[in-house]
């Protein structure tokens, strides 16, 4: 059965939570002297969060489709390795181009950089935002019954690529002008706008997609 069109629905609560989570970097810039590197590292950490929740989405998608559930045994590990490599390489770029100590090609260096940057609260806020959307939209609104594992395989890449090309370009520009607080605020606002637009588009997409017919044989 097709779901009710979402064009006239109010802004979902998850969008408001997303805006709140994206406001954390503003507090970091204004009160805790977060730098370009701190902001970019926080946004890289969001890649990891996005990947984890996409794996959870894949795991519970199409629960009554036997063929799709069998396919998950291959697709979920494949996505984990492929997206993990993609994220790791992106993290290396952030460390090499913006990190204070130059490039360091190891996961331990990335984890140490996150701890040293003091962005733990920001990472937690982002994780809670994605967790709220997962529970409220994906599970609570039944999106897991209308999506497919194959569609979820590719979904994070378009968002992450567009978002982080913008962020890296903004990071270079901000660094070029001496990283004033105003430039970082503009960068954060641009990221929030792109993120919010993608989030609302995703909600409209899965609200309008009819639930797939279960395959029991």
pLDDT tens digits, 152-181: 988 888 777 776 777 777 777 776 766 667
Supply the angle between the helices 36-60 and 107-117 in degrees, to the nearest 10: 120
Cα–Cα dist 95/90, whole Å:
9
The residue ranking higher by pLDDT, 217 or 167, is 167
Instruction: Note the pLDDT of residue 179.
Output: 60
Instruction: Note the pLDDT of residue 214.
Output: 47
- Give the distance, in angstroms, between the CA of residue 2 and the centroid of all CA atoms in the same chain: 27
Model confidence at 10: pLDDT above 50: yes
- The answer to whether 1 and 211 are in contact (CB under 8 A) is yes
Please state, as a whole number, how many other Cβ atoms lie within 10 Å of the Cβ of residue 202.
18
For residues 13, 16, 17 and 22, what is the CA-based torsion angle, rounded to 10 degrees? 160
The residue ranking higher by pLDDT, 148 or 208, is 148
Model confidence at 72: pLDDT above 80: yes
SS3 79: helix
Model confidence at 1: pLDDT above 50: no
Instruction: Note the pLDDT of residue 59.
Output: 94
The top-scoring range by mean pLDDT among 51-60, 84-93, 195-204 is 51-60
Instruction: Note the pLDDT of residue 178.
Output: 65
Q: Work out the percent of the chain whose per-residue pLDDT is above 90.
A: 17
Q: What ranges in the chain are assigned the alpha helix state H?
A: 13-22, 24-31, 36-60, 66-98, 107-117, 120-133, 149-176, 181-208
- Length of the chain as a residue count: 217
Measured CA distances, 89 to 95, 164, 206 (Å): 10, 13, 30
Instruction: Note the pLDDT of residue 8.
Output: 53
Q: What is the pTM of this model?
A: 0.80
The residues, any chain, with a CB within 8 Å of residue 12's CB and separated by 6 or more, are: 136, 137, 200, 203
- The answer to whether 26 and 188 are in contact (CB under 8 A) is yes
Model confidence at 211: pLDDT above 60: no
Cα–Cα dist 120/56, whole Å:
22
- The answer to whether 134 and 56 are in contact (CB under 8 A) is yes
Instruction: Note the pLDDT of residue 88.
Output: 85
Please state, as a whole number, how many other Cβ atoms lie within 10 Å of the Cβ of residue 69.
15
For residues 13, 15, 19 and 21, what is the CA-based torsion angle, rounded to 10 degrees? 70
pLDDT tens digits, 189-201: 888 888 888 888 8
6 pLDDT tier (thresholds 50, 70, 90): very low
pLDDT tens digits, 96-153: 777 766 555 566 776 777 778 888 888 899 999 999 999 998 999 888 888 888 889 8
Q: Work out the percent of the chain whose per-residue pLDDT is above 70.
A: 83
């Amino acid at each position: 059965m097709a779901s009710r069109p979402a064009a006239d629905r109010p802004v979902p609560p998850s969008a408001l939570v997303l805006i709140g989570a994206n406001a954390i970097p503003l507090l970091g810039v204004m009160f805790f002297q977060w730098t370009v590197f701190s902001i970019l590292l926080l946004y890289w950490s969001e890649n990891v969060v996005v990947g984890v929740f996409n794996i959870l989405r894949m795991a519970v998608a199409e629960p009554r489709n036997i063929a799709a559930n069998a396919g998950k045994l291959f697709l979920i590990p494949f996505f984990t390795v492929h997206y993990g490599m993609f994220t790791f390489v992106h993290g290396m770029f952030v460390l090499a181009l913006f990190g204070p100590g130059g490039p360091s090609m190891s996961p331990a260096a990335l984890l140490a950089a996150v701890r040293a940057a003091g962005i733990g609260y920001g990472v937690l806020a982002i994780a809670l935002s994605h967790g709220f959307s997962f529970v409220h939209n994906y599970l609570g609104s039944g999106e897991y019954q209308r999506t497919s594992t194959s569609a979820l395989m590719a979904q994070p890449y378009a968002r992450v690529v567009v978002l982080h090309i913008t962020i890296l370009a903004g990071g270079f520009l901000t660094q070029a002008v001496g990283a004033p607080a105003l430039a970082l605020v503009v960068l954060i606002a641009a990221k929030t706008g792109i993120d919010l637009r993608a989030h609302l588009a995703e909600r409209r997409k899965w609200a309008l997609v009819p639930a797939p017919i279960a395959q029991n044989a």
